[in-house]
Amino acid sequence: MNYTDRIDGFQICDPSYVPGFEPKCTTPVYDIVKWYTHEPLEVYDMLTREKKTVTESCYVVARLVYDTHEPCFDFESIGLRWLEAHPTQAIIDAITEFAEKKADEIDSQTLMEKQSWEVYADYCVCPFCRTQSSAATKFCPSCGRRVFRRY
């Protein structure tokens, strides 16, 4: 999935992996790629396995890696590629905006998790007051706070 249009030849997208070699890790990672044009080149499409001719390709110059301790994204250049790719202010602004927005989304998801009932085999636990309840009700019967149900 591509998250931005091409901005001065750069683009933010999901990391692409050779099918079957996707990592198991669930930490959010986004690739920052740089596009370049070249002589027509015959390649095999990784997904369809069909031969096709391409005149442009991209390579990863940097990554945004979510830091669960902070919580925010760390920017990691792939070697010196980021510097060598001559980033412009427009792509720097786009990356900054993207990283802040994504970090906010992840933050609110985590918050949502914390406000959900902890569900066990035959009881639930309120995340606020730790009181056990027989059902995941809308409001905690003990502290009265709004608790979400996880489905």
Residues that bind Zn ion (CB under 5 A): 126, 128-129, 140, 142-143
Minimum CB distance to Zn ion smaller for 90 or for 143: 143
Q: How far apart are CA 97 and CA 59, in angstroms?
A: 22
Q: How far is the CB of 108 from Zn ion (least distance, A)?
A: 21
Q: How far is the CB of 113 from Zn ion (least distance, A)?
A: 16
Q: How far is the CB of 149 from Zn ion (least distance, A)?
A: 14
Minimum CB distance to Zn ion smaller for 137 or for 142: 142
Q: Helix, strand, or coil here: 82?
A: helix
Q: Is the dihedral of CA 105, 107, 108, 113 positive or negative?
A: positive
> In DSSP terms, which residues pair with 119 in a beta bridge?
124
Q: How far apart are CA 67 and CA 60, in angstroms?
A: 20
Minimum CB distance to Zn ion smaller for 12 or for 136: 136
